[in-house]
A and B are shown apart, each in its own frame.
Chain A
């Protein structure tokens, strides 16, 4: 047992720390199976104080610390970038600390999942509005804040989950524990406001990808869940990419507070029905794009008004309403009523054994995505040779395109673009060439999309470093980012390697 291990064990006690090779490998991957990094030690801390002490030891020993929430980042966000470091599994910290029903603010430990939090809130007729990321059944609230997550439901109306942030308790990389917003005032009795008392310091931890601090407690605004809702699904006309963008824009121009709206591109509908993912669309006369909306209201009358407005937009754009039941093709019903919003991103998984999607998630203005998708198609053609190589080994040519395109706040959409590939282990053989092709193609596509000016919101291992390597950041921005990092984390121990912040190794 190393001296480091002994010091850490003293902090958390022996049951909550492990250096077993099996425990370490259990934490060596996140949702992307392609990127791997094996930690030296895994710890399940119980609170901010323990994390503070762990970080102090890590600074003394100059060892990387990687916070991990639900482990749902698709891009290597919560595993070590190299084979070393301490993974902090924050899932032990998954309690609701307080629900302030008068002021509609909930305070939770950072490891709680969006699913667990919303299950708790529904007892009070409340919800979080934005329901976090598409992996919200497991993904943690802390991870959501660290990634500016969106896409798991409610994001057309409420935007990214950081929009609802009120206050954070954060352990800084050097071990100090701070609170932000209203809690900066030592006389404040409870969190109630993110802004004021100086700069909005909570913001620097929003979307920081875990490099500036470890979130330990989070206060979020919560909202009464409206008692009425309607959800309709439509078959799109030709040129559905352009038409869907037009519909999203018209929803925004009319100021309708649609709760969710999504567009499934033609390719997704076609492949999804061919491969048996979407039997609900088997009987479509044309396998074209699909769009749905969900709208909530506090009365029947209010609901009718919104539905009429929305239906007119779809009708004007020659979209054909499908039946009201899931069996009729109404995926909006499944999304809302069956909480499918936390599974909709899972459908492509396991299409065939070893199948994996190498993609990334960005925000882009509504008007831009048809152009990006066309360029992605072009990228696919340009890389036909590499695709053929994968086909020869895996028996299926990669598919390039986008998952469901989701209307989010700020008149943007969330675009999940990428290509499908395979893990390198296929039927008893390990294909290193697949590993090489995966990384090469992944980086190439991400670079291509970056040049469209998008904002990536969950950067993880691959994107945070790629953006630096390809010079995507404005030099002054990167300089400022580096300065903040250096100030907060002089030894660069927290989430070491992200944005190529390696420090003195």
Chain B
């Protein structure tokens, strides 16, 4: 039997779960809580309790008590989780600072799931097939990205933008998904910066941030990656690095300092923070407004629940001319996940699409013509689900990154 080294470090969390099940079933309109677990809901009638937090916590208790072993079968269940963190929100949801649910002091579910994943990897039952390939690609010196593409492809788009500096105060961490899958959004970003007269720098020597490996539970090569990435930005004289990817943002801002055991020598920002600064300073020269559209915002889990960055994107949207804003029924900490995270998109693509479809329908229900967000994984998963939707539903809404939304109005 495995030593369960990582899970044992989370025993306080596991043993603090009382099994109330609100992480599976809570509907509490007074605080805008309408269900919790996107995986369980997507499973529908097949949603056995192993698919949401309470059942998993029961399994973890049995693991810690030595009643059951780790196995590949367990890994197949465990990786069907987008690690969205919505279960944590429910677990801590007194929703009032004057009445505290004590579980909030002990349980961070995502940390528990990641600890279990680490143990599964160390015991040889994970990574699952596709996750293993992503990590291999990420660690491959000729790639350094989880998409299996040559490293140079990630930086090809930069050649169109000679204004990007090699060093400076404000440095873009480009990540992998945007340059390799949504490069037009990066080009839109450059359009905004150019129009606003902002200068940025970027390195062609950045490696994948390692988020994918962290979420899957394989930390073997992470310290090398972190040290490399931090070092190159330090050498470039960075005061602030920023990224347009919610996953990279979480990894840089939260995971890197935790894993290094020290603060980073520069600030880390998300693109929505930069855009909001620019909008507040009227730096972006918008075209004259013709008509208006209604837009709704999807909170990416890695931006919202994981990083508490809820209001800044909303502030940005409210400053874009010609837009009316409408919240979805589930927003901010109650937001429904897009379904892509935690390795679900790569290993269980149908599950990811089912979850995503539900979220798009929720956006349509607001009456908005535009669903915007700021995470390439969310955009990618939404776009894939959108393609499978009925034309009558597609006509109701467009899905667009907030960067493209702004750039389209310049």
Give A residues with C-beta under 8 Å from B: 15-16, 18, 20-23, 25-31, 33, 42, 44, 46, 70-72, 89, 91-92, 113, 115-116, 119, 122, 135, 137-138, 275-280, 326-327, 331, 334, 337-340, 342-343, 346-356, 423-428, 430
Contacts and interface: CB of A to CB of B under 8 A. Distances in A.
A327 B99 CA distance: 9
Given A334-B96, A338-B95, A430-B65, A138 B45 contact: no
Q: Which 6 residue pairs across A and B have the least CB separation, nearest first?
A: A26-B55, A353-B12, A280-B98, A350-B103, A138-B21, A354-B15
Contact of A280 (B8, B50, B99, B103): B99
A343 B46 contact: no
B66 interface: yes
B18 A276 contact: no
B165 to A, nearest CB: 50
Contacts of A30: 19
The listed residue with most A CB atoms (<10 A of its CB), out of B15, B34, B103, is: B15
B16 A339 contact: no
Q: Is the interface of B mostly helix, strand, loop or mixed?
A: helix
Contacts of B59: 22, 25-26
Contacts of B106: 350, 352-353
Contacts of B21: 70-72, 135, 138
A346 B20 contact: yes
Question: Interface range on chain B: under 10, 10 to 19, 20 to 34, or 35 or more?
Answer: 35 or more
Contacts of B55: 23, 26-27
Contacts of A342: 28
A29 B55 CA distance: 9
A138 B8 contact: no
A30 B48 CA distance: 14
Given A27-B58, A29-B58, A46-B45, A348 B24 contact: no
Contacts of A276: 100, 102
Interface of B: 8, 11-13, 15-22, 24-31, 34, 45-50, 54-56, 58-59, 61-62, 64-68, 73-74, 77, 93-107
Nearest to B30: A339
Given A26-B59, A113-B27, A340 B99 contact: yes
A353 B49 contact: no
Contacts of B62: 25, 28
A350 B28 contact: no
Contacts, number: 193
A349 B101 contact: yes
Given A350-B106, A350-B107, A351-B102, 13 more contacts: A20-B73, A21-B73, A22-B68, A22-B73, A25-B67, A31-B18, A33-B18, A71-B54, A113-B25, A116-B25, A122-B29, A138-B26, A342-B28
A42 B55 CA distance: 12
Contacts of B102: 275-277, 347-352, 355
A15 B46 contact: yes
A20 B20 CA distance: 23
A424 B100 CA distance: 25
Nearest to B24: A138
A347 B99 contact: yes
Contacts of B12: 353-354
B56 A26 contact: yes
B12 to A, nearest CB: 3
A424 B11 CA distance: 12
A278 B11 contact: no
27 contacts: A15-B45, A16-B46, A20-B50, A21-B73, A25-B68, A26-B50, A26-B58, A28-B58, A29-B58, A44-B45, A71-B21, A92-B47, A115-B25, A116-B27, A137-B25, A137-B26, A138-B20, A277-B102, A331-B99, A334-B94, A339-B29, A342-B28, A346-B103, A350-B102, A350-B104, A350-B105, A352-B106
